[in-house]
Every structure is written in structure tokens, then in C-alpha cells.
Structure 1
């Protein structure tokens, strides 16, 4: 049976206050402030001293779990023009080529995540330059201090990487910008903070469901099992973050992909058992004749049985460039072909299109929208977005 998304829950201040025990919505709304605070903390810590102010031979980023998107964003922004390679490692072993000429960036909100902490310690032992981001009083900060690296604190009130993403990401991008690895500076971060403020305002809890983009998207996502598809590398990163938030915050299983590489495997799912087209195909094979994919609006779940879960497609689209390029036109045509195929198969399609701006600013808007949507989806389903009994039980069983 499909989950029941109650719009009255997400429009009620009392219900939101009762369900959102850790004020997840408020935490997401501070994203713009996190960027501004991170810039100040980075400058106070001497971010210009990263790698001695000299461009390293290579950069390795260590982040995992809710912080993993930090690595993804740095890779994305570095790819177009970085003069040095950027790679990602979640845990030991540290690659053998890392040495005194390289920079290792380790990110952990608590400063205690085993993977980034072990990688930072091994990098320090080999004499590599270090940039660490996390809690001020933490083992990760100690490793950076002993190695004469640069450690950036995360500020107060940052309790989970799901709501403190920008406290972790902004210092990394600022440091990489100082080294000429990415095209990010305080001006770009200020524009990004403004975009995050705009999204926080339009997605605020007091904004009614019929005008709030995140609440509207949450209601749509509740109608099926979501596949999140980005129309290119930028939205591919946003899609990965969205599936992580849907699973961890809303407890909804989701998968993500990126065009053009994942077009075939996504479209293949439109033939499968989670679409209305599948029922028509089965009827055709049984001799009943193929029918247009559609739901029976008169179906009674008590007499006819529960409705099977259906696939839904969340397509994340980038703004079209001006002037238009052939590559962008091909990407647009492929995205439209996929959404058309989805609708013809009876798949519910939602689209979120980025607003113009620097790539980081565009990405920030996509992430903010889906972050808020995943949180409203949890609340509309009657779940606390920050508290998962099964996660707590898992930690208890493993000592994590």
C-alpha cells in the first residue's frame, strides 16, 4: 500500500514542533548563515596557509557518510579546469603515491569518523599537507595541529552533517579556491549564501503547501518509489545527495543516476513491475490485449487489495546556457526523451530546474530544494526526520 502523506501535518506549526524533535527544518534554513560563518572561521584559521600557499601535486579528499557529498562537489567543480588531479578516498589504505608534495583534505563533523581520521593521521605521518574540517575539540583537529596543517572549526549547534553540510563544504571550497583548484572565492560563496537564503524563505514551514516548492515536491515523491536523475554532472551530484536524504531522513528507498550514462538503465525500469505499463504488457501476453497505462480511480483498496508501489521519476534539470551549445541541446533532448518515456509508462514525473548563476550557486539551490522536500516528506508521513530507531539500534549493536 502506498504511504499516506498528510498535508495537514506539514502545514501545522504544532504538529511540526512535535515531530521535528531536533529542529531539522530550522537547521536546513541556516545553510546561508553556515556559508558566511564558515568563510569567517576559515579566514581566522588562516585558510591561505593551506599547503604552504603553494599548489600541491595532487589533492585527496577523505569524507564519508553524510559528509561524502563534500568530496563529490569538490570533484565536480575541479574537473573543468583544475591543474592538479583530485581524488576521493573514504577509508584506509591511503594510496602509496601520497607524500610531502600532496594535500589531503579530511572532513568529519564530529572530528572522530574513523576513515577520515585514519587517512589524515597517515597523511601526516608521510609529511603531506593537511586541511581538516570538523569539531574544534576533536582528534581530527589534534592531528592537524601536530602536522602543522590547517583546521577549520564548524561553529556552534552543528549536530548532523545532513543539516550542517555548508559548514563542512564552504571551507574546503575556499581552501581549494586559494590554490587555484576550483573557481570559488568569497564572492561566489556570498552569492551561494544568498541563494540558500532565498530557498529557505520559499520553503519555510509557514509557507502553505500549495505554494511551497518543497512541500509540493514532498507530496509528489510520496506517490511512488523515486528514481532521482540528474541531467548532467552538476545535477548528478545533487541527485546523489537527494537519494541520501530521502533514505536517511524520509526513510524512503531511492536510487539515483546521471545522464547520459544512466539513461538506458533508468528507462529499462519503465518496463518493470513498478509501472502501469507492466500491467498492460502482462495483459497483452495473456491475450487480454494491451491497454494504455493508467490507474483505476475507482479501485477500492479494501475490496481490491492494496495498490502496488509505483515508480516515480524526479528529474533534476540545469539552466540552459546562453548562448545555447550543441552539447547542452543534446542533453536537453535526452532529458525530455526520458521524461516523455516515463509519462507514457504511467510513471509520475517531477522536475526541479536550477536557477541561473555560478555552478556552485546552481547546485546549492538544487540541494536545498531536495533537502527540504525530503524533510517535509518525513514529516508528512508522521516521522521524526532526525530520529531513526533502527539506526540507533544498529549503533547499539555495533558500538558505533
Structure 2
């Protein structure tokens, strides 16, 4: 169960946050500004493209693939954007750069149709994945345009120069070192998967920023003027609203975390921008709160999740049974619908008609007595709306993990 008292104790939150995840989220705006400055220094502003590519493929894992989903939602209709996830993994020894052995052994395969008309972007927070280096060599042999988003000085950043690719910056988090492991680790008792550390909470914006700086220049995206620069301000504003010393009743992220306690969230997205936010929220709940969540896009998600709605997940003994043993009853694990939307407001600040799919989702949840929580962004710029939704849900996932005893 959620420890409500911890949510309103900034000092206790700081002690519990050994990996400085809250600080990492608060610094997202600063990382966006730094990434834009370094991308310009890397030569993005000097690019003179002959035309936009046929397809943009984004290869990586974790947040890099979420960035690919975001790019697909923001791209013009005449250009396709595709994720390129790893397809295999081989055992390798831990590299000298400290890349986890599992991720260092990941392998990617370039689709057979990829050629000179396409752009391959390789994105990673590590830069030591041999599989990405091999993929860059494959793309070079086929005449693809190549860009690499990786830490400066990493193996992949150096390989980008060998395949005539454009090296773009991955800005690491400026955080203090995580707290040292506890007594069990000191005695040599480490988890079986010790080579799978938690992903950097700010990796999404560290990848997405240089990716969008590049795609804006080559015409794959056409965001409003100054959109990229202004998204850093929106991330800063969200960090202020969701800061640890803001009381739970005024902090949207803490409030959402409290409502998600003891539930299995069904993340229903209305539209492509909300779908990216739902995908990210599910990943963050798994990564930072250790909670399962299922995401999907309206209206098809109503069919996909129908079975869970009618099965009444978490139903316990009859609550009207006077003689049942309430002491030994487990806490019920119930469904909760989180409806994510990007919409607009009219001149009177009233939200526009949500459409039949959203109305149907509300009625369906109500009919099955399932609590519904709606997260809506009314920002007109799609990138700013994405930042608004992901910032709130990122903080909520971290708060839920910190305030839930392990």
C-alpha cells in the first residue's frame, strides 16, 4: 500500500530516492537546451538536404524506441517513421566503458528494403552496443544516410565518423552519484541480473531533442516556429508543479500516484500524441514503480481490454457477507482506467467535443464500476502537449515507486 505520509515529506522522499530520479526529471528542460546547443554545434543547422528521406528508421532500445514513436506521431504524412528494436542478444563480456553485458550483446538487423532513400538513426545512452555499430556498417554498405545519437567519446560516436554518419549529442544527466548499495551488496549478495541497471529517467528527451532538431532540418517534421526551444520551458513548469515539496493536494503527479495505488492501470489513449504518452507511462510504471500497466489506443483498445473489464479483476469475497473474515482478506487489486487525451479548448476555455470513442470509453468504465482518471492537455502545439502529458506521468510513476514499500 502507498505510504501517504511519505508523499508529503520532501526529506523522506529525498532519502528514498537513492537514484535521484526526481532530480533527473526536474533537469529535463536543461538537458533539452543543452542538446539543442550541441546539435547546432554538431552541424545540424548547416545541413542542406536534397529532400526528405523515404523512411526514417530509429534503432535502439528503451527510451530510444519511445522517441521513435514520438517522431512518428509528429512526422509529416509523406514520410514514414519506423522503430528498429533489437532482434537477438548474445553473451558478451562487460566492456571497458561499463556498458551492461546484456545491452552490449543486443543485435539489430536492417530490413531488406532499406537503401539509399532512407535515413537510419542509431540512438543510445550507452554507446557501447556492438550490435548498433554493426548495424551502422550494414547501413553504410547499402548507401543509407546515417545519424548517431550517443555520448561523446563512446564507441558508437566514433564509429559514426567511420561510416560518414552525422554524430549528434546525447546529453547525460548532471546528477550526483547514486547512493551506495546496502549491506547485502557489500557482502557480495547481488541480484542475479545485476547487469541491468535502471534506465536514465531523462533519456527520452535526451534522445528526442537532437532527433527532432535533425528531422526539422530535413523536413520530416514541421513543428511551429520555436517549438523545440519552448518545450524546455514547459518541462521546467511541469517540474515546478510536480516538485517534491508541493503538497499532494496541489501536486498533480502525487495525486495521480495516490489514485493508482493498489490498481492495475489501463492506459487508454485518444490520438497519436496521447498514445506515445501512454506507452511511456506504462514503461515508467514498470521501471520505476514495479507495476504492470496495459496501454492502447481508442477505439480498438476497448475490444482488446474487454475481457478484463467483464472479469472484474481483483474481486474478493462478497462485501455484503457479514460473517466473512475481513482481517485475512487480501487487499483487492482493481482495474483503473487512465484516459489520456490531447484536445483543444474554445474561446470560453471549454474542452471541445471528445468524440464518440472517448464517450464510449467513459460509459464502458462506468457500466463496470471501474474508476476513471482523465489526463488532458489542451496545449495547441503537439510537442508541447506530449511534454505536458509525459512530465506529469513520469513524476507520478516515480512518486508511486518511492512511496510504495518494497
Return the TM-score normalized by structure 1.
Answer: 0.82
User: Of residues 372, 377, 380 in structure 1, which corresponds to 2:403?
Assistant: 380
Shift of 1:13: 2.4
Is 1:151 the counterpart of 2:167 in the alignment?
yes
Deviation of residue 67 (structure 1)? 2.3
Query: Which of residues 273, 281, 285 in structure 2 aligns to 1:242?
Result: 281
Q: How does 1:168-179 map to 2 (within 5 A)?
A: 168-179=207-218
Residue 6 of structure 2 is aligned to residue 9 of structure 1:
yes
1:33–1:131 distance in 2 versus 1, CA, 3 Å: same
Assess if the C-alpha contact under 8 Å between 1:28 and 1:372 holds in 2: yes
Measured in 1, the distance between the counterparts of 2:34 and 2:321 equals 51
Segments of 5+ residues of structure 2 without an aligned counterpart are 87-107, 176-198
> Which one of 333, 336, 346 corresponds to residue 309 of structure 1?
333
Matched, 1:188 2:227: yes
Q: Does 1:209 align with 2:252?
A: no
Does the 8 A contact of 2:344 with 2:378 survive in 1? no
Residue 38 (structure 2) aligned to one of 33, 41, 45: 41
Q: Structure 1 residues 357, 184: closer, same or farther in 2, change over 3 A?
A: same
The residue number in structure 2 matching 1:284 is: none
Which of residues 81, 98, 103 in structure 2 aligns to 1:86? 81
Deviations 1:339-360 (A, max 9, x none): 2321332212111111322101
Q: Deviations over 1:197-252 (max 9, x none)?
A: 11110000010111100000000011311111111221111101100000111000
Q: Distance in 2 between matches of 1:115 and 1:162?
A: 23
Unaligned runs of 5+ in 1: 281-294, 384-400
Tell me the matched-pair count: 358
Quick one: distance in 2 between partners of 1:127 and 1:118?
15
Moved more, 221-230 or 160-169: 160-169
The worse-fitting range, judged by mean Cα deviation, of 210-219 and 11-20 is 11-20
- Answer yes or no: is 1:19 the counterpart of 2:16: yes
Counterpart for residue 386 of structure 2: 363
The structural deviation recorded for 1:185 is: 6.7
| Structure 1 residue aligned with 2:195 | none
Alpha-carbon shift at residue 337 of structure 1 (Å): 2.2
| Cα distance change of structure 1 residues 272 and 102 upon mapping to structure 2, 3 Å threshold | same
- 1:290 equivalent in structure 2: none
Does residue 345 (structure 1) correspond to residue 342 (structure 2)? The answer is: no
3-state secondary structure, aligned to 2:373: strand
- Higher share in helix: 1
Residue 149 of structure 1, CA deviation: 1.6
Alignment of structure 1 residues 257-276 onto 2, 5 Å? 257-274=296-313
**1:28-177 superposed matches below 5 A:** 28-48=25-45, 54-78=51-75, 81-91=76-86, 92-157=108-173, 160-177=199-216
Contact 1:232–1:260 (CA under 8 A) maintained in structure 2:
no
Distance 1:348 1:298, change over 3 A: farther
The two structures have a TM-score, normalised by structure 2, of 0.81
Going from structure 1 to structure 2, the CA distance change for 1:170 and 1:301 (only over 3 Å counts) comes to farther
Report if the CA contact (8 A) 1:174-1:184 is conserved: no
Name the SS of the counterpart of 1:67 in structure 2. helix
Please state whether the residue corresponding to 2:202 is helix, strand or coil.
Answer: coil
The separation in 1 between residues aligned to 2:293 and 2:172, in whole angstroms, is 32
User: Which residue among 219, 229, 250 is the counterpart of 2:268?
Assistant: 229
CA distance in 2, matches of 1:139, 1:192: 30
Using the TM superposition, give the Cα deviation of residue 375 of structure 1 relative to its aligned residue in structure 2, in angstroms: 0.2
- 3-state SS, counterpart of residue 96 of structure 1: coil
Q: Is the 8 A contact 1:90 1:116 kept in 2?
A: no
- Aligned residues of 2:365 and 2:371 also touching (Cα < 8 A): yes
SS in structure 2 of the partner of residue 262 of structure 1: helix
Shift of 1:115: 4.7
Partners of 2:144 and 2:124 lie apart in 1 by 19
Counterparts of 1:94 and 1:50 in 2: how far apart (Å)? 25
Greater alpha carbon shift after TM alignment, 104-113 vs 88-97: 88-97
On the 8 A contact 1:243/1:256 being kept in 2, the answer is yes
Answer yes or no: is the 8 Å Cα contact 2:314–2:332 preserved in 1: no
Equivalents in 2 of 1:11, 1:114: separation in Å? 45
